Amino acid sequence: MEVRDQNGEGRWSADQIVGRYRRWAAKLGVSQPRDLSPRVYESGGVSWVAPVMERVIEGIEAQDVACAQIGVEFMEEDQGFVFGAILKSNAARALRRFQHLTDEQIDRIRRRVATMYATGIVPREFAQYLRLIRRVGPGSYWAQIVDAEPKNYLAKRAKRYFMAGFDRDGRPTAS
């Protein structure tokens, strides 16, 4: 049977993500660690191994702190993935709903969004990153965002979002 693994390689392989989750779960005191085994679908003699990040995103939605940590790491990753835009967008959406982001996670999210925007890297999933930054605020990265010059259509749209969503000091405006 042919196996088509839709997980990444190296640090983002299914085994590496599951191992990292177990270490974070132990370190962060997760009382009931989740089963992050990848879903496997079979069709026509082909076995499809779904991305483990789908399970991590479900964990973030369920308020699992170890999954949230991996979700932040995933947002910071530049490597391309099968279904990467969808997975990163869904991870950002889940993180936006996560109730207990740590100060360190919030800073990493802010830094990632500000750096991507300032360098002109504004992929499709950036729309969810903007919604996430709206929730956590730009913090000390506001000056970097304001000084950046948009380089493409999506970056110009992001600039309008930033300017409409935050006052001149980087505080969210009334919605």
DSSP string, 109-147: HHHHHHHHHHTT---TTHHHHHHHHHHH--GGGHHHHHH
Full-model pTM: 0.90
Looking at residue 101, its pLDDT comes to 95
Higher pLDDT, 42 or 26: 26
- List phi, psi (to 5°) of 120: 85, 10
**Residue whose C-alpha is closest to residue 49's, from 80, 83, 88, 24:** 83
Looking at residue 175, its pLDDT comes to 58
Distance CA 149, CA 3 (A): 45
Q: Out of 18-27, 37-46, 84-93, 128-137, pick the least confident.
A: 37-46
Q: Is the pLDDT of residue 156 over 90?
A: no
- The mean pLDDT of 44-60, rounded to a whole number, is 91
The span from the first CA to the last CA of the chain, in angstroms, equals 53
